[in-house]
Chain A
Amino acid sequence: MSIDLNFIVNHLIEISPELWKAAYQTTVMVGATMLFSVITGVPLGVLLVVTEKGGIMESPKFCSVLGTIVNVFRSIPFIILLIALFPLTRLLVGTTVGTAAATVPLVVGAAPFVARIVESSLKEVDKGVVEAAISMGAKPWQIITKVLLPEALPGIILGLTITTVTVIGYSAMAGVVGGGGLGDLAYRYGFQRFDEITTYAVVVILVVMVQLVQSLGNWLSKAVNKK
């Protein structure tokens, strides 16, 4: 098969409104997912660290229960989570179809991931610095907001970058169940209509997106890292 450049260009122009719309939907989906994942995942990660044995609010039982819950959600494959959460999605959004609906399973899938990433970043914080804060009479809340989170920020940002890239991948899967976005576009055009050009165009857009996210994350992490 010879490559007809003319045909490719014309086809791309033809589908470009669809491509842009899908890229926009993906961006919104990933953005909203990250927002809600951070809102829920960061406190979870902090709780995992401060309640562990030797933590500043030691409570090993609570910690292990929380850890188990996080692990349960992390061990469910996303495609299953997507379907299993239909009732919850319907409850929260009123429908199981569309970008907003896709955000629900995405958050449930990403938040535990964020929690673990925040946990491991916080564990990297020098114990001596926390101890110094304790020796000055800092309250647990002050230690969390003034020591742990600021000191771990570069690591947390890098971790969130990884999460965002993963969520971009998940969001494509969400598209398959009618979530819209680039995954949906590639599925409908590429798979159902054998439109390879659209598939490759989607791949290129995804690659560019991931590159942008990773570069932004690296830059931001470096900017806040004063070590």
Chain B
Amino acid sequence: MCASSVCQKGPLVFYGKDGGVMISIKNLTKIYQNGSQSVKALDNISLHIKKGEIAGIIGYSGAGKSSLVRCLNMLEKPTAGTITIDNREITSLSDEELRVARREIAMVFQHFNLLSSRTVFGNVAFPLEIAGVPKREIKQRVEKLLSLVGLVDKAAVYPAQLSGGQKQRVGIARALANDPKVLLCDEATSALDPETTKSILKLLKDINCQLDLTILIITHEMKVITEICDTVAVLENGSIIEMGNVVDVFTRPQHPTTRAFVQTVINTEIPEPVRQHIGQGGDGKVIRISFIGDHTEKPVISRIVKKFDVDANILYGNIDHLQDTPFGGLIIKLTGQQDDIARAEEYLAGQGLQIEVITNEH
């Protein structure tokens, strides 16, 4: 069990965990052949996910996310490339070997996919029955799993009587039954309301901590990524367009699609009244200063006003938190001598801040 203090630190977990690589995807390509038409769902994807990490893959529908996650347990056979999970190349296993390997690659589904003919207990027992676990052991194991997901009192109930969130808890308990090494979540919270999503994400995070389980989450919701993921890959048209640590990727998004995802949780657009004000012109240079982490605590504005002969008028500002890292932006209008302004800008850039010129009227 890992210390809870580490788990709550968000991005630090990524660096703090020293496990090896759990999932290694190399040059994965998936082409769907439909008659004479072929669709390239995944285009030469390479990706590594470390042991104990919560990795997110985000993309719009049709980006290839589902194909990717389904290749990981061979529900889809890759057209080319290799997938290695825990040092085992699953793309080259026989049918029988694959069946055994699949017990360690558990999956949670968007629509839960529970057996309606079985009770909650029966659903969680199902993968154990398949694996040939003795009856008495199944009972103990199921009870333990149900208490882990907080559904002990629902053991005898049929899925039809459960709420969406409870169904997904059953789905998660079922996925954990055979002590998997990897948990694949295919849009696991997309059918749930925001409140329930939160509680399911918390459960996944707890499981990740308690069992040191590697989790791969496929989603189109930015909130899921920012809430629990350590790393993220942005998928578009079957290719990874950006990947890395969540804070790094989302505080400095390079690609328009990544920026669009960031927009859904953090407003980096300039509000209309401010934009109008800037548009009215007047003397001065309007710049945007973006900062991440420690920089938010430095009094840079008052310093440039003191150090250089410039005035700084703050037009707009915001600070947000991505996991536990604060970041934000300020839009200020600098007025004064042109070379004073230039030196002030230089100073700001020297502090490790990102400067972007919006208008420059003189």
Spell out A's residues near B (CB within 8 Å). Answer: 126, 128-129, 131-139, 142, 146-147, 150-151, 153, 224, 226-227
Contacts of B118 in A (CB 8 A): 150, 226
Residue among B113, B116, B117, B174 having the largest count of chain A Cβ atoms under 10 Å: B117
How distant is the Cα of A131 from the Cα of B75 in the complex, in angstroms? 8
B327 at the A interface (CB under 8 A)? no
B109 at the A interface (CB under 8 A)? yes
How distant is the Cα of A151 from the Cα of B113 in the complex, in angstroms? 12
B130 with A128: CB separation less than 8 A: no
Contacts of B105 in A (CB 8 A): 135
How distant is the Cα of A142 from the Cα of B103 in the complex, in angstroms? 15
Q: How many A-B residue pairs have CB under 8 A?
A: 68
- Given A134-B75, A142-B130, A226-B160: A153 and B117 interface contact (C-beta under 8 Å): yes
B109 with A128: CB separation less than 8 A: yes
How distant is the Cα of A190 from the Cα of B174 in the complex, in angstroms? 63
B158 with A226: CB separation less than 8 A: yes
Interface majority SS (helix, strand, loop, mixed), chain A: helix
Contacts of B341 in A (CB 8 A): none
B73 at the A interface (CB under 8 A)? yes
Residue among B103, B105, B130, B159 having the largest count of chain A Cβ atoms under 10 Å: B130
B100 at the A interface (CB under 8 A)? yes
B109 with A151: CB separation less than 8 A: no
How distant is the Cα of A142 from the Cα of B174 in the complex, in angstroms? 17
Report B196-212 CB contacts with A as 1/0, cut-off 8 Å: 00000000000000000
Subset of 11 A-B contacts with CB under 8 Å: A128-B111, A133-B130, A135-B75, A135-B105, A135-B107, A136-B178, A137-B101, A142-B129, A146-B130, A227-B116, A227-B160
| B114 touches which of A129, A131, A135, A137 (Cβ 8 Å) | A129
Contacts of B174 in A (CB 8 A): 136
B75 with A136: CB separation less than 8 A: no
